Amino acid sequence: MSDELDAYSAVVTRVARTVLPSVASLAVTTARGAGAGSASVIGTDVLLTSAHVVAGAARATAAFADGTQVVADVVGRDPLSDLAVLRAGEPLPPPVALGDAAGLVVGQLVVALGNPLGLAGSVTAGIVSGLGRSLPTRAGRVVDEVIQTDAALNPGNSGGVLADAAGRMVGVSTAVAGIGVGLAVPINATTRGIVDTLLADGRVRRAWLGIVGRQAPLPPPLVARLGRRTGLHVADVVAGSPAALAGLHVADVVVAVDGASVATTTEIQRLMVAGAIGRPIEVTVWRNGALVDVVAEPTELAV
């Protein structure tokens, strides 16, 4: 047992030694007052943090373990993924290595590094408790594929690093859902694209249809035809929305959008990218015992 504990300690110690120099305590001042969080270096002069940490702020002060303090400007925030990027006016410590959350498995060791409760340079360890969670945001949407961990997270951890045993950042700590339940936005192809877009454009554009629904079983004839069992039962259509103008109705069951099968609002969200704004797209619904195609033109989502 002592050998196993020594091996565990060695992994956590190595991750801390590797990653902590690239993790900053973030001090933020807004019209509402002062706030704090964490951030990580991901480029020569680029910091990554949570969008809610820098909400309402134009800049923040990043303090590193070696005592260095750097002022960084907020380049862009994306409340719908709870990610934000900052750019410093001077070189930063070496960036943390980026991993890919797609390779995580439940039970895998992870290490959280950040600034909980103002305690800079804190390290906690745990496991991946769950994958594919959904995190509601203040903007009314959900972040997909969120990582659940039992590594202790507290206020101030937001924006910090969730690292794997190799010291690669696989998530950005974002929320405490309860005792022993922490959540992190994954580092994957989608979030890397969001970060790149924020750096280039300062914001992420998304499309909007204007329907609210829930996953529901499909009738047997449609199951046999489509080869799947569920679709999105439309519970509400926002008045004046692209969906309303296209003729979508409450009680329609959406089975495809722009040629892609859908069964949840999350799956529709994934399709509502910038390229869909103003472009006619086909929405296939099950209505009165028949498949019906309607054409909608998504508008830009106002955040």
Annotated catalytic residues are 52, 82, 158
- Sign, Cα dihedral of 17, 19, 22, 28: negative
Cα 170 to Cα 218: distance, rounded to the nearest angstrom = 36
Q: Which residues pair with 184 in a beta bridge?
A: 147, 173
- The two counts, helices (H) then strands (E), for the chain are 5, 20
Are 164 and 99 within 8 A, CB to CB? yes
Please give the backbone phi and psi of residue 92, each rounded to the nearest 5 degrees, phi first. -110, 170
Are 174 and 191 within 8 A, CB to CB? no
Could you report how far apart the first and last alpha carbons of the chain are, in Å?
52
